[in-house]
Amino acid sequence: MLFTSFVFVCLVAATFLLYYLPALSKFQVSILIVSSLVFYAYNQPVMVLLLLLSVGINIVSSYYIVYGDVKHKKRFAIAGVSLNLTILLFFKYSPLFAKTFFKEPGSLGEFLAAMPLPIGISFFTFQGISLVVDVYKEKYVKSELLVPKSFLLHAKQTLLFKGFFPQLISGPIVKAHDFIPQIGRKSIQDVQWNCVVKNMILGYFLKMVVADNLKDFTFWIAFPYFQGYSSLTLLTMLFGYSCQIFADFAGYSLIAISLAKLFGYNFKDNFNFPYIATSFKDFWKRWHISLSSFLMEYLYIPLGGNKRGKLRTGINIMIVMLLGGLWHGAAWSYAVWGGFHGAALVVERFTNEKIKIKANIVTQIFKGLLIFSFVTLAWLLFKLPDFQHVILYFKSIGNNIRSIDDTQLMSYIMLYSSPVLFYHLFYLLKVKSSVINVRKVEFIPYGIMLFLIIVNSGSSGAFIYFQF
């Protein structure tokens, strides 16, 4: 069920009305659970069983970590994490395993290759792992605050935590210690309407006007169509895809955050103007923040972080980024993408220790453009999961210099990419200048965005991160 569909609007409206009815206030958690299951079952009804299985594993393992035999606490934690990962590996990576190790026709290879990919499995699996680890380590809050004594109450809270529909299929990845303490009765008087409305308008604008229009023009990046375009057109399409993937995922995240606030729950920001980053480290503090913070807390730090010497630090970074790359999809190109970012982070980390560059406006602009260029080139691995097609695309950029440019296509790409540029530039101006005060006139750009959503939305399409 797409956030941009009419049936989703009906689901949200019905849920909202029932949720805040005074007579049903004690059933608020149950209402959200039912709505979330309806939302997830809309396109893949049978996959609700997998979601419930995943939730059940986390309910049982986390409960017995807290209230079971102390001697078996670690075993329950290991079992909970292992079963979460087993489900993820089986359903998401069976096709990759089949293509890699079962190239000859055969029943097992064909069975694995045909394995369906449940929507959002990467997201709700990571959330389940966060519950098990948070309860076991008690790093953030006491386990009793995450796992109540009542097994039924714990089951309801865990089901809401993993199944809450705003973030169920594309995040943000919500951690147990952030979400579960928020569960309780909510009042409509506490809804932050100003924030909800602004985030909703901006999110739908980025998705429906920017990303959905750009997808029709960046479609030609696909193999074999790109081979007929000039070098400049190929680079422009890649630039457009970079803006598209930001608008698509940042738009989704803003919609999810505003929907959560509509029901009284607060998610942390998932994007913070990533294309103004002047280093790869800065980029990963701004792009998909919920994923990078999850990998930091639950993988990088447990591996030893940067506390075991330079060599081990570099190895830890590469492990985290390679696995982070594969988390995005069952293709080796995603591992290459993660490896590229990992290598860039390692080189950057140790280069900065040796070389000190004086910071000024010129160097900051140069570094920002350099990071954006490398990040944009790497996005091609998302658009073309077949690595051979990626190599062919770069060859076409080098070989098609004399081909005729498609000026109309490039013009449309630049037109629909411009809001992403203005979005980042305006933020920079606002940060650098204390004289800019937009509060009195901010209704103007939001009014324009709302108007464009109505009159200039692109053809409806699934969010890019649905495939992950």
Q: Which amino acid is at 181?
A: P
Please name the residues in contact with 44: beta carbons below 8 A apart, sequence gap of 6 or more.
116, 118, 119
Residue 27 pLDDT: 96
CA angle 291, 293, 294 (to 5 degrees): 65
Nearest to 154 by CA among 53, 55, 85: 55
Q: Which two tokens stand for residue 294?
A: 């999850």
Model confidence at 435: pLDDT above 60: no
Q: Which amino acid is at 102?
A: F
Residue 93 pLDDT: 87
C-alpha torsion angle, residues 171, 172, 175, 179 (rounded to 10): -100
Confidence of residue 320 (pLDDT cuts 50, 70, 90): very high
- Sorted by where each begins, the domain ranges of the chain are 6-189, 193-467
Confidence of residue 337 (pLDDT cuts 50, 70, 90): very high
Tell me the C-alpha distance between 389 and 386, whole Å.
6
Residue 107 pLDDT: 67
Tell me the C-alpha distance between 228 and 230, whole Å.
7
CA 365 to chain centre: 27
Confidence of residue 105 (pLDDT cuts 50, 70, 90): low
Tell me the C-alpha distance between 463 and 402, whole Å.
35
Tell me the C-alpha distance between 86 and 82, whole Å.
6
Q: Is 303 helix (H, G, I), strand (E, B) or coil?
A: coil
Residue 106 pLDDT: 64
Structure confidence by residue, pLDDT tens digits, 55-97: 999 999 999 999 998 899 999 999 999 999 999 999 888 887 7
Number of H helices, E strands in the chain: 21, 0
Model confidence at 341: pLDDT above 90: yes
Confidence of residue 166 (pLDDT cuts 50, 70, 90): very high
Element (H, E) at 253: helix 231-262
First to last CA, the chain: 16
Nearest to 415 by CA among 122, 283, 144, 217: 217
In a 10 Å sphere around its CB, with 0-12 CB exposed, 13-18 middle and 19+ buried, how is residue 235 labelled?
A: middle
Q: H helices of 328-440, where? A: 332-354, 361-378, 380-383, 387-399, 407-432
Tell me the C-alpha distance between 305 and 421, whole Å.
34
User: Is 349 within 8 Å of 281 (Cβ atoms)?
Assistant: yes
Residue 100 pLDDT: 75
Residue that the structure tokens 């990088």 belong to: 300
Model confidence at 265: pLDDT above 70: yes
List, as own/partner pairs, every contact residues 371-375 make where C-beta atoms lie below 8 angstroms and the sequence separation is at least 24, other chains included.
371/277, 371/278, 371/279, 371/280, 371/282, 371/283, 372/242, 372/275, 372/277, 374/280, 374/344, 375/242, 375/275, 375/283
142 or 375, greater pLDDT: 375
Tell me the C-alpha distance between 163 and 157, whole Å.
10
Model confidence at 436: pLDDT above 60: no
Mean pLDDT of the chain: 90
Please name the residues in contact with 207: beta carbons below 8 A apart, sequence gap of 6 or more.
3, 4, 247, 248, 251, 252, 255, 463
Structure confidence by residue, pLDDT tens digits, 106-139: 667 777 777 788 888 999 999 999 999 999 998 7
Q: What is the DSSP string of 144-170?
A: HHHS-S-HHHHHHHHHHHHH-TTTTTT
Give the CB-side neighbour count of residue 425, counting CA atoms within 13 A: 7
pTM for the model? 0.92
Residue 191 pLDDT: 93
Structure confidence by residue, pLDDT tens digits, 223-247: 999 998 999 999 999 999 999 999 9
Confidence of residue 434 (pLDDT cuts 50, 70, 90): low
User: Is 167 within 8 Å of 267 (Cβ atoms)?
Assistant: yes
Q: For the residues 427-445, what does the mean pLDDT come to?
A: 71
Q: Which amino acid is at 106?
A: G
459 or 257, greater pLDDT: 257
Structure confidence by residue, pLDDT tens digits, 392-406: 999 999 988 888 889
Q: Which of 98-107, 120-129, 304-313, 370-379 has the lowest mean pLDDT?
A: 98-107
Residue 438 pLDDT: 62
Confidence of residue 38 (pLDDT cuts 50, 70, 90): very high
Q: For the residues 282-299, what does the mean pLDDT come to?
A: 95
Q: For the residues 12-26, what does the mean pLDDT come to?
A: 95
Tell me the C-alpha distance between 208 and 456, whole Å.
8
Q: Which amino acid is at 368?
A: G
